[in-house]
Structure 1
Amino acid sequence: MSLVVSKFGGTSMGNAECMLRSAEISVQQKSFLICVSATSGTTNQLISLGQTAEKGDSNQVQMLAAELIAKHQTIAKDLGLPQDHAPLIQLFEEMLSIAKGMQLLKDCSPRALDILLSLGERTSSVLFAQAMKTQLAKANVKKEVVLFDARDVIATDDQFGSARPQIAKIAELAQSQILSKYPQDKYVIVTQGYIGRSLSGNSTTLGRGGSDYSAALFAEGLNASTLEIWTDVTGIATTDPRICKEAKFIDEISFKEASEMAIFGAKVLHPATVEPAMRKNIPVFVGSSFDPAKKGTWVKKEVTQAPLMRALALRKNQTLVTLSTPEMLQTHGFLFKIFKVFNDHKISIDAITTSEISVSVTIDGEIKSQSQLVQDLKQFADVQIENGYSLVSLIGNNINHTAGLAKKIFTAIEDINVRMICLGASKHNFCFLVDAANGEKAIQKLHTEFIH
């Protein structure tokens, strides 16, 4: 029997109508486990609530909490749930209690914030469970809906705000806590994305956009036959349609191509989503919950066509860090030292180039020249910080084995200065850095040259 894991994002949870439509899709797809995000905008509201509580602003805390409660009570009412529905009331009381504690202590630590943020998904899943009951009854499907706490399976470390899943433990728990207790011919599981529990018992989150990742981890642990990601767009496009109106949706794409796209700026999939699916070779479908009839995009290990150029991605707000020292020449250990600094600051490097006495790396976000990271790097080299760049990536196949490709690329953007080039590490990607003002222009020109 096929086992389908489905995930619905925040816009698919936006109101009662969206939830009922998403639940109808789940019934049609015969989904066994459905992983849901917080309702649209709720995570940002909870972050604002935590930050306001830390400042001790009691009136503003009450107002923000009231807005969150009212939004979810409206959805509950539209789904036919009573205003005093016990699971919702308990979650609202927990939210108020956590906010009050933050306010009294004037503390919104990553650990406390993760507990607060978990309430977004936990609340939306209560509402969506009701939507599933309604649509199963409407379709005359005799299955029981189980509201399952994702934290009982998604085991993580204690890195609050961006916890790392414990893969082997998740697989063990998925088998013992779900498959052995809930036969899929009798049950439908509704659970939460984004949240987990550390091995020491603390609530954690997987980082923004982590619901996709959660669904993939559930799919891997359950040995699912298909993972479905339902969002507000009809699949994966050749580039961001907001940047290039000629962008078109892709029927199928390989795991490696999709992974490169996600890492280098495409927003449809969370960058880590593809990894669990790749490990178990689980096909991933990406479609729109607002227009489920559209065919969407399949992400698979093997695809029927592997074009030279599949898609383009743009990663904005990039910083270029250049480190120079004569000590780097013909010596060992220099790269180890500087990479250790980045590791100690928990900063990920995207692209890297080296010369005899210098190394340049790109990192996500803006870095201040007075930051502690820069001060630590200055122990080993002269440091130059350049903010305000965008990373342009061309994703495809055999890119680093195609003669004349670089000429075509740079001819297409001959009026745009390229600050840094990264090629050779992957046959699926060619990326380079341009001034932020020229990022979208470069994407448009390259899309016209290679795809449109």
Structure 2
Amino acid sequence: MTKTQIYKFGGASVKDASAVQNLADILRNRLRNNFVIVVSAMGKTTNQLENILTLKLENLDYSKNSSILKSYHLDICSELFPDGHVIFPKIENYFILLHHELNKPISKDNYDEYYDRVIGFGELLSSRIVMEYLCSQNLLILWQDARELIRTDSDFRFAKVDWEKTRWNCQTQLKPKLEQFPVLTQGFIGADSAGRPTTLGREGSDFTAAILAASLDAGSVTIWKDVPGVLNADPKFFEDTKLFAELDYQQAAQMTYYGASVIHPKTIKPLANAGVPLFVKSFLNPDSDGTKIHKSAVQINIPTVVLKQNQILVSFKVTDFHFIEEDQIHEVYEQLKALKLRVNMLQVSAISISIVIDAQLFKLEKLLQNLQASFEIRYNEGLELLTILHADPVQTQSYLRGYDVLLNQSTRNTFQAVRRKIMS
């Protein structure tokens, strides 16, 4: 029997009716049994749902935002389906369920669990629309709720996979279906042992594809993007980018660790452990080769630039004239762990600890509150973290012109700088 193939389509590849039609065209001559399709929420739906949650948390009216989001999905359906199609009442029903969740009380204490109950509606809506459209194009396909497959712990918003139970679910529930038909499911979402919805971390649909691949002993995973493959820099921010024809797992993992947005950082490990190759291809040019990530790729050490925006630099200075010791570092990291904050850069001096973290709703406030008794704390928001792998010194300086550099450090193969645009 042929091994399962897994295709993952992100938000940009299902952002409107023409994108969904393009997805169908990509699948038309490729779709067969033992095929899993993983889809993200449409366009910027996740961002819009996060905005609704923020408004609710602040006791502000979110009805307009909800109406806009509903109209967005119904407008896409109107272009794809005839009047009276079954998809329209299904979309209506999803928004009834969404509003039922939004009518429940929210607070800072239950925000993460509340977030996971609400945010997955984006993937549920998207997967239903795409499945119904594929069926309307005579591409017979089954819909699968990913929450019945991906079993996790209860660490809401950053749930950890229960690999043994997830593999069992995939082998007993999903595999028999794949012998008959292709299956379409959602990225990003799972459920804990009590059946409560969980999420795998922002942009986690790539990770879902890797989880399913490892659990099904798949032959390959293909991620479809709006770029030609894995580039040495994000073309939205940098010119003259170069395409990697291939990467080994370690090189790809290093890029994702520092924030390369083309692949979710948790994606590589399960694929490398299972020996499953990962292809990154363009949905705009589906017949091009893209990038292959596998075990035996030849390394090409060209400068690779990763830019993370919306960063916060926080410095913790001791107040009693002692030097920084392991106890202080441990204290800071315990609070970061409790708040599920990942450190993107760390620098320790004689009397201070400086960290760079992603901006997350009310997390900085809690961090400062929990550590203010032990440290003098200063912070800067709205920063960028620039990371250059295999940096060229001359080229590096060009990325710093016109910026204030608040912090920088370099190792043998990596240069990092926290920068802020100089206002003219």
Correspondence for 1:163: 159
TM-score w.r.t. the length of structure 1 is: 0.80
Return the match for 1:199 from 184, 193, 199: 193
Deviation at 1:197, TM superposition (A): 0.9
Q: 1:347 to 1:96 in 2, by over 3 A?
A: same
Correspondence for 2:304: 311
Correspondence for 2:182: 188
Q: Tell me if 1:320 matches 2:300.
A: no
Cα distance in 1 for residues equivalent to 2:273 and 2:155 = 23
Return the match for 1:35 from 27, 34, 38: 38
Deviation at 1:64, TM superposition (A): 4.3
Kindly tell me the number of residue pairs found equivalent between the two proteins: 416
Letter in 1 for 2:95: M
Letter in 1 for 2:188: Y
Letter in 1 for 2:365: S
Correspondence for 2:293: 299
TM-score w.r.t. the length of structure 2 is: 0.85
Deviation at 1:156, TM superposition (A): 1.6
Cα distance in 1 for residues equivalent to 2:58 and 2:330 = 41
Q: Secondary structure at the match of 1:371?
A: helix
Deviation at 1:389, TM superposition (A): 3.7
Q: Map of 1:36-435 to 2, 5 A cutoff?
A: 36-51=39-54, 61=63, 63-80=64-81, 83=84, 85=86, 89-100=89-100, 102-103=102-103, 105=105, 109-135=111-137, 137=139, 144-179=140-175, 181-184=176-179, 186-307=180-301, 309-325=302-318, 329=323, 332-365=326-359, 371-396=365-390, 418-424=405-411, 429-435=413-419
Cα distance in 1 for residues equivalent to 2:114 and 2:361 = 26
Deviation at 1:257, TM superposition (A): 2.3
Cα distance in 2 for residues equivalent to 1:243 and 1:262 = 17
Deviation at 1:253, TM superposition (A): 1.9
Correspondence for 1:2: 3
Letter in 1 for 2:421: A
Cα distance in 1 for residues equivalent to 2:161 and 2:246 = 28
Letter in 2 for 1:95: F
Correspondence for 2:20: 19
Q: Secondary structure at the match of 2:131?
A: helix
Q: 1:175 to 1:413 in 2, by over 3 A?
A: closer
Letter in 2 for 1:232: D
User: CA contact under 8 A between 2:81 and 2:133: conserved in structure 1?
Assistant: no
Cα distance in 2 for residues equivalent to 1:312 and 1:232 = 18
Q: Secondary structure at the match of 1:353?
A: strand
Q: 1:205 to 1:81 in 2, by over 3 A?
A: farther
Q: 1:90 to 1:337 in 2, by over 3 A?
A: same
Q: Secondary structure at the match of 1:436?
A: strand
Gaps of 5+ in 1: 138-143, 400-404, 439-452
Could you list the per-position Cα deviations for residues 337-392 of structure 1 after superposition, in whole angstroms to 9, with x for gaps in the alignment? Answer: 22112222222112223344433322223899993422433433433334454322
User: CA contact under 8 A between 1:55 and 1:103: conserved in structure 2?
Assistant: no
Letter in 2 for 1:165: V
User: CA contact under 8 A between 1:55 and 1:106: conserved in structure 2?
Assistant: no
User: CA contact under 8 A between 1:319 and 1:367: conserved in structure 2?
Assistant: no
> Computing the radius of gyration over CA atoms, which structure comes out larger, 1 or 2?
1
Q: 1:170 to 1:387 in 2, by over 3 A?
A: same
**Percent of paired sites with the same residue:** 25
Correspondence for 1:436: 420
Letter in 1 for 2:316: L
Cα distance in 2 for residues equivalent to 1:331 and 1:74 = 58
User: CA contact under 8 A between 1:233 and 1:288: conserved in structure 2?
Assistant: yes
Cα distance in 2 for residues equivalent to 1:430 and 1:239 = 15
User: CA contact under 8 A between 1:193 and 1:214: conserved in structure 2?
Assistant: yes
Q: 1:412 to 1:82 in 2, by over 3 A?
A: closer
Root mean square deviation, CA, Å: 3.3
Cα distance in 1 for residues equivalent to 2:48 and 2:355 = 34
Letter in 2 for 1:170: T
Gaps of 5+ in 2: none
Q: Report the more deviating stretch, 188-197 or 281-290.
A: 281-290
